[in-house]
Structures are given as structure tokens and as C-alpha cells.
Amino acid sequence: MRKSVIILFAKQLWQTTFRSKVLHITMVLVTILIAFAAYSGWDNYNTQNRIRNFYQEEARHSWESNPDKHPHRMAHYGSFAFRLKHKLSLFDFGMENYTGNAVFLEAHKQNTINFSEASLSTGLLRFGEVSLAMLLKIIFPLLIFYLGFGALASERENNTLKIMINQGATWSEIFFGKSLGLMSLAMFFFVPVIIITLLFMFLAEGNAITSSELLRYFILILSYILFFGIISSITILISAMSKTAKDSLIKLLGIWLFFIIILPKTLQAFGHYLYPTPSKIEFESIVENDLIKEGDSHNPDDIHYKAIKDSVLLANNVESVDQLPFNYGGFIMSQSEKISASIYNQHLNDLLTTYKSQNAIERFSAILNPYTAIKHISMAFSGTDFASYINFQHQAEHYRYRLAQEMNSLQMKFIPNKKTDTPSVIDKSHWEAFPDFKYDHLPVLSILKNEALSILSLILWSILSIIIVKKISQKTKVL
Amino acid sequence: MYSILFKSFIRTKIAAISLVLLLGVGIISVFIGKQFNIKQEKAIIEAESFQEESIKRNVKYHNDDLGLLLYYLRFSLVKESNSLTGLSIGQRDVNPSILAVTIRGLEGQKYDTDFENPSLLLSGNLDLGFVIIYLFPLVLITLTFNLYSEEKEGKTWRLIATQTSSPLNFLFKKLSIRVFFLYIVLVILFLLAIIILQLPINEALLAFIVVSVLYLAFWTSLCFIIISFRKNSSFNALTLLSLWIVLTILLPASINNFVVNTYPVPETLKTMVEQRDGYHKKWDMAKEVTMDKFFAHYPQYKKYPVPKDKFSWLWYYGMQQMGDDESLESSKMMKTKIKLREKVSEAISWAIPTMHAQLTFNQIAQSDLNNHLLFLDHLDKYHEELRLYFYPKIFENYPVRNENWKEFKPKRASIVHTINWTNSILPLVFLTVVISLISFFNLRKI
């Protein structure tokens, strides 16, 4: 293969493409779409984070302004966790609008994460959203197909292919040249998108850009380059194997529809069909039944809690709870919080495992479907995928638990066992001492681990497309 | 003539394959709807037994204190199930159809969601509505994009033009045969849906079918107008697919972005914080602060004395009430904003048939956002009824055992939806007629 010839073919593809009028219209449309998607992602990021930060501070301020009081009142006063968006969520909205945004955190009770954008939306949300990533994942492949369907098929139809071969070009030169040309056309549209994304990341309100965000950004760029490479070679392949340009176009459109629109949705629906989940009521009654088995801390005759009481009295060598060196009520509540939280989390984890099984089929199809691979990589590194959401849920629950237990231990330490004339309160400085909820996004390493399969799929597909292009170029006939 | 066209059509492989695939996915979608309906019905039955059990258990534990008992007891409001929902699941997977609440502050409980896999919500339900809105037009495009161009490209058009009296008539017949097959698939799917989902034959079902038929008529006219420009097959395929993408993905999605960004709803979080502060902060204030406001809200309870230095349920429920009262404004504002979103979306949908079909399907199947808002209104009412019933009993320390607890079964909210025929079909009819007229005008001199 001669480099100069490959570049010549690549250039030729550029020239024929840019000569067509339809391309100019397409370019205008794509530019408008990119501008709209970028602006709307940025606007949404700023607005939502501004709102969530504002109320997080508001709620915190109100927490700190509480007077001296009994710590258990504060455990019920509770706190909130509002889910902050990752900066890259302006690039890929992922499933964020379907996940809850706000949860009230209080002692004894795990509340649901409420107010997802979906719950406030009309049926329109079903049509999806326009984000930069959506354009790259769904519209760009179609664009590449459209720019490349005739790359070889038209040459064959016009008999120019024969002339090229006769003049000494080899098949692999034509193949790699055309693929390279198509790939660079894709880059022509892709580069503005990545520049705009970076620009908006810098312009976004809030903290300055971090190195982890930049790392995620570069991984995204790399993955998309691989994806477009794969799509370009598929296009050239189909174009080479089709007799006419029309045939090639119809095949490519079919591939697009099947692999991008129909297959992922059908597989997800199938997964849901295979692994049904309990209704909320069923879930709650299972949890409640398990809790009852563990005993009732409110019931003075409960065997389980009586046993705890006896062993505590024995261990401290006293005869009644009044003589204990710590507040007995606080102690019992900390025990009961520990038990109920662990039961709840156990069932929640079961539920999450079922969700993962439901998702597994669609996720594994990434091996066969590069679109699925890039879809998951893109969401994961933009902090808008399933794992990111679960991460938020875990952090919120963890904070809730710490809050409840901190208040219990304050009660054990400072509240006397015997009722006194003055109400039992502790100093308000304790409220400020307990830190506010802070949401940390997943570290890059764990995302890499989560998405190993999708990344592997993209790499395999890239290698495979090079091999196939090489193989086919030895076999293809001119006519 | 028809029989020849008919034969030539069924011999085309791609037509047969796409129709069979469509039928297959359509049948799957009906079963997905069935699965959804079954899950909903099961949940309602569970809600009934769960409520009975939990009331029984709590009454046993807290049989000497009605105020404490009602702290725990949860009463469910259930949305009447509607088998038509299986055809268009809409927002039903996002918004709960069963809400269980205690008589404590409502704003803290009203918005609790169900558990659902967000990946599934993202990919959306593969219901019959989806098949009709997305897949039927695609198959229609496959069947018709080369209606004229294949004759031209196969060099048979001149033969036809000379041998038939009216070439336009020929094209029209060819089109009607292809569309006929598509409608046959639609009819089969509706028949299957009626049997499998046990749909009652009523006005709502009729409306659903009529909207589907008209929606496909719109797409037929759209295909026909592209054909009427008499370009080559590649051009037609590309143009029609682009139109499909614009109408089913880009336009509705952009409008959704626009609506979400133009009308953010910070009142959701505001309500949450105000509800918490409105209730919890009262613990640190003088009892009069709560009671004055409470008695202003419910003057009928003024007669009950509030103990000065000790806890009382009157004071406690008064404080709970303050959570609702003090977040009322934000809560109302939230609802207004959500309604505004619905209104704007609907107004825009008049010009975009895909959006119109989706929103209308959801309305007919009672799975739209407005239906959920009405459900929440029912919840407001039910919660108030419970309060008014139990408040005096709590304040009078009515004995727990004198109450007939067996009567407290989940209440069913029946939300009636009257079909607005004009709104449902007018936009589709209008667009179809206009586009068809232009096509015929284009083809008058073929």
C-alpha cells in the first residue's frame, strides 16, 4: 500500500462530497442541531445545579439555625440530598431525567428519591432528548452512512472502479483511502462538537474544571473516534459489497434502524420481561415482615430487645437502665437503626441486582453492537448512567445512616437516663459540627471497570474492521 | 388490474419480511401491555391485603392510644385500573398508581415514587402505541418509497403510461394495495389486543383506533407527496427516512428540551424544604404559634383544650398540619408549572402529528401527566377526609377498639376522561387533507 495513493483516494472522497448541494443543506442542519443541543445541555446544567445548590444551602442553613434541643428531634428534623449534575452531563443526558433528584433523609426511614424530571414531564419525554451525545450516537452514524453509501458502489456503477484498478491502484489502497476519507469527514463534524463541549465545560457555573473531568472528557473523545472509525469501515464495506448505490443505501439504512433504534429497545424490554420486579408495596411489606422478625424496639415486652437489655445491664454490672453510664434510649435506637438499615439495604440490593439482570442482556449485546457499547461508555463517563445513579443513592443512604447514628451517640453521651425537671437538650453547636451532605461522583477507575465490556467491544470491533477490510480487499471483484 | 398489482406486491421479499416483522413486534407489544396490566392489578390486590394486615397489627400494638396509632396507619388510594393503559403505558411507569399515606403532613408523602429500573424508563415501553407511532411509518416508507421510481428505474413506466388510461389512477391503486396490507396488520393487532387485554368495546377504544388510522393516513399522504416529486429511489428513501427522524426523534425531543428548560420547577425542592421546616421548627416554638394557626384553619376544633406543659396529639397534629399549610403556596405553584408544561406541549403538538398521536394515545389510555395530577387531587381530597374524620376522635381520645377498622380498605379513585373528538382528530385530518391535495396537484400532469 502506498501512502500517497491512500491519501489521494481520501481527498477524492472529500471533493465529491463537498461538490454535492445536499451536503451544504445537511451541514447547515447539523450545525443548528449541534448549537441547539449544546446550548440546551449547558442551560439545563446551570439551571438545575443552581436550583439544587440553592436549596441544599437553604436546607443546611435551616439545619444549623436550630436551637438547643434533644438530639433525637434533630434526627427526625433530618436533612436533604439533592443530586448535583456532573459537568459532562451537559454533553450526555443519559438517564438523568428518569432518576430522582431529591431525597429527604431522616432517622428510621429510607425515603424514595423523588422529583425526577420524567415525573414532571408530559409524554413527550418518550421521544428522547436532544443532547450532543445523542447527535453523535444516533444521528452521526446515519450521516456517515449517507455520506459514504456511494463511495464504492457509485464508482462501480459508473465503471470508474475498473479504470482505477487498471491504472494500478490496489484494492486495499482504495479501501483504506475511502475509509480514511469518510472517517475524516466524520471528524469534520465531530471536532466542532468536542470543542464546544470543552468550551461549555469551562463556561459552566460552579467549580473550575478538574483533572478527573478532563480525563473523562478525553476518554470520551477516544471512544467516539473508535466508534466513528468502525462506522466508517462498515459503510465502505457495505458500499463495496453492493452492486448499486441504491442497494448500498437501503442496506445501510436497514442496519441503522435495526442496530440503533429497534434492537436496544427490544432487548431492554425483553430483559424486563424475563426478570420481573416486585411492586413497591410488595417490597415494603417484605421489609416490614423482616423487621418484625427482628423485634420491635417500641414494645417493652419484646423478647429480642429484652435480651439486649439484659446483656447490657450485665456487661455494665448494673441493675437498672437508670444506672447505666450512657443514655439507654439512645443506645436502643442505635441498635434498632443498625438492624433496620441493614435489612432495608439487603432488600434494596436484591432489587438492584434484579435491575442489573434486566439490563444485562442489553449491556452484553455491546459485543455485537458497537452502538450499545458507545452508548454505555458515553453515559458512564458523563456521570449519567445507572451506576452513577446507584452511587448517589448509596451515598445518600450512607449519609442518612451517619446522621441518625451521630444523633443517637450524642443522646447516649449527653442525655441523662433519669428524667429531670429541665428538658433534656444539648448545645446547638453540635448541629454545625455535623457536616452537610456532599455528593462525590464515581472515580474514573471504577467507571473503567464498570464499562470494561463496552470498551473491549469497541477495541475488538476496531481491530475486526481493519482485518475484514484487508481480507475483503483481497477478494472483491471489480464488477 | 388490482390482482396483478396484488400479485406483484406479495412477491416482493422486502415487503413480506417487513410486514411479518411488524406483526411480530406488534404482538410482543401487546404482551408487554398485558404484563404491565397484570402487574398493576397485582399491586392493587397486594395493597388491599397489605393495608388490612398492617392495620390489624398496629391496632394490636397501639390499642390504647388513637393518636399514636394514626401516626403509623397508612391508607391507600388506588387509581382504578384501565385495561386500555396496556396499549399506551405513557407516564404510568414513572408516576405511581397507588399512594399510601398517613394522616400526617401530606406534602411529605404525596410525591413518593415507585421503584423502577431507570434503564428501562430510559429505553421506554415497547407498547402498541410505540409500534404504531414509530414502526408503522417505517414499514410504510419501506413499502412505498419506490412506488413510482421502481417502474421508472426498471424501465416499465413508459409501458404503463401508454397502456393505462390514467397513470395517476395506476399509481393510486398501487399505493392503496400496499397501504391496505399495512392496515390489515393494524386491524389484526387491534383484534389481538382486544382479546388478549380484554379491552371493553367502548368510545375510548374507538377513539384509540380512529387516531391510529388517521395517523397512518397522515404518513401515507406524506409518502405520497414525496413520491409525487418523481425523484429516484435513493432520494425518496433518504428523504422519507429523514422526515421520519425529524418527526419521531428530532422535533419532539427538541421541543421537550425546550419545555423542560423554559419551565424549570424549583418549587419541587422548595416545597420539600418548606414542608420540613414548617412542621419541625414548631417543636421549638410556643404552642400558641401552632395552635392559633391551626384553629384559624379549623375553627371547629377550638373547643378542645391544649395542655400547656405537656405533649398532646392536638398540638402534634397541629404541627404536622403546619408543614402542609406553610408549603401550600409552593405546592400550588409547582402544580401550575407542571400544568403549563402540559399545555405548551399540547399546543405545539397540533402541528406535529407524532407528538399529537403520542399525547392523544396517553390521554385516551389515561396514562398522561394530567391524569396523574388529577390523581393527586383525589389524594388531597381523600387525605382531608381522613383528617376530618380522625381529628375529632383523636382530640377526644376516642377508644381504639370502638372503631370498625375493617372498613378502612384502599379507596379507589375513579378518574373520568371524556374524549374530545375534535382535538383528537382534527390536526391529523387537516394535515392529511392538505398534503394529499398538494400531491394530487403535483401529479395532475403525470
Q: Count of CB atoms within 10 A of residue B403's CB? A: 16
B126/A266 CB distance under 8 A:
yes
Q: Indicate if the alpha-carbon torsion angle A91, A94, A98, A100 is positive or negative.
A: negative
Residue A476: per-residue pLDDT:
65
- Average pLDDT over chain A reads 91
Using pLDDT thresholds of 50, 70 and 90, give the confidence band for residue B161: confident
Residue A477: per-residue pLDDT:
62
A249/B234 CB distance under 8 A:
yes
Confidence check: pLDDT of B340 > 70: yes
In chain B, residues with a C-beta closer than 8 Å to the C-beta of A358 are 117, 119-120
Using pLDDT thresholds of 50, 70 and 90, give the confidence band for residue B1: low
Confidence check: pLDDT of A478 > 70: no
Written as one string, the DSSP assignment of A125-145 is GGG----HHHIIIIIHHHHHH
Cα–Cα distance, B355 to A228 (Å, whole number)? 31
Determine if residue B155 is left, alpha or beta; phi over 0 gives left, psi from -120 to 50 gives alpha, anything else beta: left
The answer to whether residue A353 neighbours chain B at the CB level (below 8 Å) is: no
Cα–Cα distance, B264 to A324 (Å, whole number)? 54
Longest dimension (CA), chain B: 104
ipTM: 0.92
Residue A295: per-residue pLDDT:
72
Confidence check: pLDDT of B6 > 80: no
CA distance A315 to chain B (A): 30
Residue A24: per-residue pLDDT:
85
Cα B8 to chain centroid, rounded: 42
Q: Are B147 and B173 in contact (CB under 8 A)?
A: no
Q: Which of B227, B251, B237 is nearest to B435 (CA)?
A: B227
The answer to whether residue B22 neighbours chain A at the CB level (below 8 Å) is: no
Confidence check: pLDDT of A321 > 90: no
The neighbouring-strand residues paired with B99 are B77
Give me the mean pLDDT over the A86-110 stretch.
95
Confidence check: pLDDT of A106 > 90: yes
A127/B354 CB distance under 8 A:
yes
Give me the mean pLDDT over the A181-187 stretch.
93
Instruction: Give the tens place of pLDDT for each residue, A380-396.
Output: 999 999 999 999 999 99
Q: Which of A331, A179, A324, A152 is nearest to A242 (CA)?
A: A152
Give me the mean pLDDT over the B218-244 stretch.
92
Please, is B100 exposed, middle or buried when counting C-beta atoms within 10 Å of its C-beta (0-12, 13-18, 19+)?
buried
Q: Are B389 and B57 in contact (CB under 8 A)?
A: no
Out of A120, A126, A249, name the one closest to residue B338 (CB). Answer: A120
Q: Which residues of B200-212 are buried (b: 16+ CB within 10 A; e: fewer)?
A: eeeebbebbbbbb
Determine if residue A317 is left, alpha or beta; phi over 0 gives left, psi from -120 to 50 gives alpha, anything else beta: left
Residue A298: per-residue pLDDT:
61
CA distance A5 to chain B (A): 30
Residue for grid cell 460552579: A206
Using pLDDT thresholds of 50, 70 and 90, give the confidence band for residue A153: confident
Q: Per the structure block, which three cell numbers stand in for A156?
A: 462501480
Residue A471: per-residue pLDDT:
82
To the nearest whole percent, how much of chain B has pLDDT over 90? 81
Instruction: Give the tens place of pLDDT for each residue, B22-72.
Output: 999 999 999 999 999 999 999 999 999 999 999 999 999 888 899 999 999
Confidence check: pLDDT of B320 > 90: yes
Cα–Cα distance, A202 to B38 (Å, whole number)? 49
In chain A, residues with a C-beta closer than 8 Å to the C-beta of B122 are 94-95, 98
Cα–Cα distance, B107 to B159 (Å, whole number)? 74
Confidence check: pLDDT of B306 > 70: yes
Amino acid in position B409: K
The answer to whether residue B42 neighbours chain A at the CB level (below 8 Å) is: yes
To the nearest whole percent, how much of chain A has pLDDT over 70? 98
Cα A437 to chain centroid, rounded: 21
Instruction: Give the tens place of pLDDT for each residue, A392-415.
Output: 999 999 999 999 999 999 999 999
Confidence check: pLDDT of B435 > 80: yes
The answer to whether residue A283 neighbours chain B at the CB level (below 8 Å) is: yes
Confidence check: pLDDT of A138 > 90: yes
A298/B90 CB distance under 8 A:
no
Confidence check: pLDDT of A300 > 70: no
Cα A393 to chain centroid, rounded: 13
Residue A74: per-residue pLDDT:
95
Count Cβ–Cβ pairs < 8 Å, chain A vs chain B.
Answer: 248
Cα–Cα distance, B374 to A247 (Å, whole number)? 52
Out of B118, B245, B368, name the one closest to residue A386 (CB). Answer: B118
Residue A238: per-residue pLDDT:
93
Q: Count of CB atoms within 10 A of residue A353's CB? A: 11
Residues near B233 by beta carbon (within 8 Å), at least 6 away in sequence: A246, B145, B146, B149, B150, B153
Cα–Cα distance, B268 to B266 (Å, whole number)? 5
The answer to whether residue A269 neighbours chain B at the CB level (below 8 Å) is: yes
Give me the mean pLDDT over the A99-124 stretch.
93
The three-state secondary structure class of B169 is helix
Q: Are B77 and B372 in contact (CB under 8 A)?
A: no
Cα–Cα distance, B77 to B412 (Å, whole number)? 6
Residue A427: per-residue pLDDT:
94
